[in-house]
Structure 1
Amino acid sequence: MKLKVCGMRNSVNIQSLLKVQPDYMGFIFYEKSPRYIGEELNIDLLKTFPRNVKKVGVFVNAHPDLILKTVKKYTLDMVQLHGHETPDVCRGLRSRGLTLIKAFSIEPGFNFSRLNNYKSHCDYFMFDTKGATLGGTGQSFNWEILKEYDNEKAFFLSGGVSPLHAEMITEMKGLNIHAVDINSKFEISPGLKDIDKINAFARQLRPTVQIPQM
């Protein structure tokens, strides 16, 4: 199972996280987020990333042209769409060669048939917690509802994942979980991660990955 750490922006924090060898590192390009990269993200640092750490840009209802320009500017490897983007928007972006993660906000009674029109236009899905506003909530949803998903397309598990969830996640059988997405529960402050917490979680989640001692 792979690991994605989202909401990064501080250069020193990013360099420390690279030692943990996450599979994905997420950068938020949504101005209303407290983890919005603003002018803080170091473009030159992103260009030095090893190939095994994929850079993911997170967008919310952004214009496709802006997404494409941002991908080029920051040498992003993947795009995460976290708003109300339509299947046509996904199709258009993917036709330009982008690797897409489409996020869906899960709530009781969520109808997974909504995903059918997206399946051929996205590489992965992400299941996050439904909130009052767009973006992450820092809260987890009832993972039992995932038993209703057909597992046809691999997904990122998101929404309030905490250090206490590692064992529970590794025991979730029969679900096509590609990666676990962590963010606020591993922070010192918005956008600044507790690397020791992430390192411990990563060791539980991926026991076969050789992570250097911190």
Structure 2
Amino acid sequence: MKIKVCGLRDKTNLKELTALPLDYMGFIFYSKSVRYVGDDFDEEITKMIPSHIRKVGVFVNEAAEKILTLAKKYQLDAIQLHGDESLEDCQKIKDSGLEVFKAFQVNESFQFKSLDTYQSACDYFLFDTKSDAYGGSGKKFDWRILENYKGETPFFLSGGIGIEDIEAVNAFQHSKLFSLDVNSGFEQSPAVKNVVLVKEFLKSVRQTKDEQK
């Protein structure tokens, strides 16, 4: 089970988190987010991340050219598209050599068939809670909805996952579940995570999922 911690920007907090067995760290390049990295984000911060942790840039309806420029500057490994990006946008970014995660907000009426055209242009999907705004809402959705996902593209499970959800996470199973995406559920303040809680979550989830294999 892979784990991604998203919404980071604090250098001290990030350094503490790199000591944990994380797989992905996410940085939000969307100015309307309270976890926006800022216009003057220090590129040395992402350079300090060890190579075994993949760096993900989160964007919302940004031009592909700008995404690729920022990806090079901050040495990103993957791009998470959290807006209304087209198939062509995804393909252009993937063709550059970056991993592409396409986020979709789901609820009971979501049509998973609509994802078919995206499968070739995305390495992963990310399923988040339906909301009126772009980006995460910090709320959970009914994971039973994902029983309707029959696609081949692996996915990240997102949406308000916190330390109190360990039991539910351990009980949830889907053949295409690739990673958990956590953010606000582990925050002390916007963009600063509680390292102790993240460590506890990692240990419990990894141990249970390994036992389930």
After TM superposition, is the score higher than 0.5? yes
CA distance in 1, matches of 2:63, 2:145: 32
Deviations 1:127-176 (A, max 9, x none): 00111111110000110100000041110000011112122222222331
CA distance in 1, matches of 2:84, 2:97: 21
Corresponding residue number in structure 2 for 1:79: 79
Aligned-residue Cα RMSD (Å) equals: 1.5
| Contact kept? 2:43, 2:74, Cα under 8 Å | yes
CA distance in 1, matches of 2:194, 2:131: 25
| Contact kept? 1:60, 1:83, Cα under 8 Å | yes
| Contact kept? 2:170, 2:208, Cα under 8 Å | no
Corresponding residue number in structure 2 for 1:5: 5
Q: How does 1:87-126 map to 2 (within 5 A)?
A: 87-126=87-126
Deviations 1:111-133 (A, max 9, x none): 00110010000000000011111
With the length of structure 2 as denominator, give the TM-score of the two structures: 0.94
Q: How does 1:15-30 map to 2 (within 5 A)?
A: 15-30=15-30
Deviation at 1:28, TM superposition (A): 0.1
Deviations 1:31-64 (A, max 9, x none): 0000000056431232232221000000000000
| Contact kept? 1:167, 1:204, Cα under 8 Å | no
Unaligned regions of 5+ residues in structure 2, if any? Answer: none
| Contact kept? 2:116, 2:151, Cα under 8 Å | no
Runs of 4+ in 1 over 4 A off after TM superposition: none
Does 2:193 correspond to 1:203? no
Q: How does 1:118-157 map to 2 (within 5 A)?
A: 118-157=118-157
Q: How does 1:169-188 map to 2 (within 5 A)?
A: 169-188=169-188
Corresponding residue SS for 1:206: helix
Corresponding residue SS for 2:147: helix
CA distance in 2, matches of 1:152, 1:182: 23
Structure with greater proportional helix content? 2
CA distance in 2, matches of 1:69, 1:137: 28
CA distance in 2, matches of 1:163, 1:193: 12
Aligned length: 209
| Contact kept? 1:8, 1:191, Cα under 8 Å | yes
Corresponding residue SS for 2:113: helix
Does 2:163 correspond to 1:167? no
Deviation at 1:110, TM superposition (A): 0.5
CA distance in 2, matches of 1:130, 1:208: 28
Q: How does 1:188-199 map to 2 (within 5 A)?
A: 188-199=188-199
Corresponding residue SS for 1:55: strand
CA distance in 2, matches of 1:175, 1:159: 19
CA distance in 2, matches of 1:179, 1:96: 23
CA distance in 2, matches of 1:139, 1:173: 20
